[in-house]
Amino acid sequence: MQIGPHQLKNKLIVAPMAGVTDRPFRELCKRLGAGMAVSEMLSSRPELWQSAKSRRRADHAGEVEPISVQIAGADPAMMAEAARYNVAHGAQLIDINMGCPAKKVCNVMAGSALLRDEPLVGRILDAVVKAVDVPVTLKIRTGWDRDHRNAVRVASIAESAGIRALAIHGRTRACGFTGGAEYETIAQVKSCTRLPVIANGDIASPEQAAHVLRHTRADSIMIGRAAQGRPWIFREIAHYLDTGRRLPPPSFGEIHALLREHLQALHGFYGEMMGVPIARKHVGWYTRTLPGAAAWRARLNRIETSQSQLAEVDRYFEELAALDTGVGAQEEELAA
């Protein structure tokens, strides 16, 4: 998979997810097999760029290249300026968000709400592509609702504007994240455009990844929610695509080591006050199907310091190690 001058090592991309794909998460996913990871979206409103949240989201220090930054907004001139700002702060690709279904984004006519206004889509894409000398990519949904799937037309607009790759989530804006992803529209777009197409939606196992690639003929796949608490999914999928065989699931010991590494990175990135509560949701994802985890997390969530949080994680996994069992059931449940 190549996007402009950037040759990715494989077909696997981490989806941008607000509150999830911060730098520690992106770095871990890349180390475990992802070819690229897109940042959390940054607003195109310049008055927000110096907020603590935006500064953290624009922090790419030491990050494995290529560095892809997603921007969101509805004003072409502001989006162009946001693209220039982020390139000046290290972005090597700019991704435009026209796929987010969140109400707070769509209520200001950004994200997937833009799909209702195709002329505005064109103006935004033209403005951003002309503003920067790095590749610009676009993420969309299949349309606004089931009666208005316009991804093919948007793909044509994107190609004319000079967009370098198109990611498509296999649901409409109205679907949110409910129901199963449909891949027919993605396949249709792929057959109608010369753009590299990235398929997204409900890819939670190596077998599903292979199926989506075959069915849509997409150039790569993008994985979001299935990687939460399971960053090793990227190496599993890469191995399966290369060999046709599944890797064995990670042991409790490896999960413990990865979770500990992730928590320490979060504590360092956010600091003690923010890092500890932010880490709790990741602990929940890593342990959601492990024995006794629900009751244990209730205790963990009362802990307020990073060292005590790590010590409690260590204690829990020491107890799991004594069970001498694997996590195959966990993997099967997540893939279902």
Catalytic residues: 100
> From CA 287, how far away is CA 31, in angstroms rounded?
21
Tokens of 49: 């760029």
Burial of 249 (0-12, 13-18, 19+ CB in 10 A): middle
Burial of 96 (0-12, 13-18, 19+ CB in 10 A): buried
Query: Which among 201, 240, 238, 242 has a CA at the least distance from the CA of 223?
Result: 201
Strands (E), the chain: 2-3, 6-7, 12-14, 36-37, 42-43, 68-72, 93-98, 136-141, 165-169, 197-200, 220-223
Specify the 3-state DSSP secondary structure of 68: strand
Question: Bridge partners of 214?
Answer: none
Provide the terminal-to-terminal Cα distance of the chain, rounded to the nearest Å: 28
Distances (CA, A) of 30 to 9, 10, 21, 142, 233: 10, 11, 11, 27, 11
Residues 6 or more apart from 271 whose CB is under 8 A from it? none
> From CA 161, how far away is CA 141, in angstroms rounded?
18
Which amino acid, one-letter code, is at 301?
Answer: N
Please answer whether residues 269 and 299 qualify as being in contact, where contact means their C-beta atoms are separated by less than 8 angstroms: no
Please answer whether residues 108 and 74 qualify as being in contact, where contact means their C-beta atoms are separated by less than 8 angstroms: yes
Query: Which among 100, 57, 106 has a CA at the least distance from the CA of 82?
Result: 57
Tokens of 223: 């994985």
